[in-house]
């Protein structure tokens, strides 16, 4: 409540002992205890009276109705949360599997005259993303090869300038 530590209480006690004196100090603490007891009792009575008045006025029922009306489930936010979770787990490069698409069994032997399986269709945005990532990987691999060549003391072959 007052956020007083043991050292502060000790200092207050020493000052009270010096100012009030050892003879009157126990009586003062007794009166202080009675006073705080009265304050707590009055606060409890006041809180009980306020709760009774709120119960009679129907505030509790209104608050419960408001909580029910603004719950995540009644507002449909649980569906939004599920969709957000699915979106976070979604990988655009990984083909989606759904009830309409049957996955072939990798252990089953394919007939000899069966055509080769085709990769799943992806959207243009996904293909563009895959191509961009492949280009970045190629640049990183080329740069890594050049750095390894420099580290080994070889001079990398210079490209001919475009005319």
Would you state the structure tokens that stand for residue 55, as one six-digit string? 């119960």
Which pLDDT belongs to residue 162?
53
Q: Residue 103 and residue 97: Cα distance in Å, rounded? A: 8
pTM value is 0.33
| pLDDT at position 41 | 96
User: Per-residue pLDDT tens for 134-153?
Assistant: 999 999 999 999 998 888 88
With vertex at residue 9, the alpha carbon angle to CA 8 and CA 12, rounded to the nearest 5 degrees, is 85
């Amino acid at each position: 409540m007052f956020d007083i530590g043991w050292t502060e209480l000790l200092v207050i006690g020493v000052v009270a002992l010096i100012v009030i004196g050892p003879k009157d100090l126990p009586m003062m603490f007794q009166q202080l205890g009675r006073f705080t007891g009265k304050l707590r009792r009055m606060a409890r009575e006041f809180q009980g009276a306020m709760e009774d008045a709120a119960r009679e006025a129907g505030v509790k029922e209104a608050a419960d109705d408001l909580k029910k009306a603004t719950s995540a489930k009644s507002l449909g936010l649980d569906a939004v949360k599920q969709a957000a979770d699915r979106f976070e787990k979604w990988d655009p490069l990984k083909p989606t599997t759904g009830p309409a698409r049957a996955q072939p069994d990798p252990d089953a032997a394919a007939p000899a005259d069966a055509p080769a399986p085709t990769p799943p269709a992806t959207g243009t945005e996904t293909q563009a993303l895959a191509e961009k990532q492949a280009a970045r990987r190629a640049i990183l691999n080329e740069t890594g090869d050049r750095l390894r060549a420099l580290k080994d003391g070889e001079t990398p072959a210079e490209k001919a300038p475009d005319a």
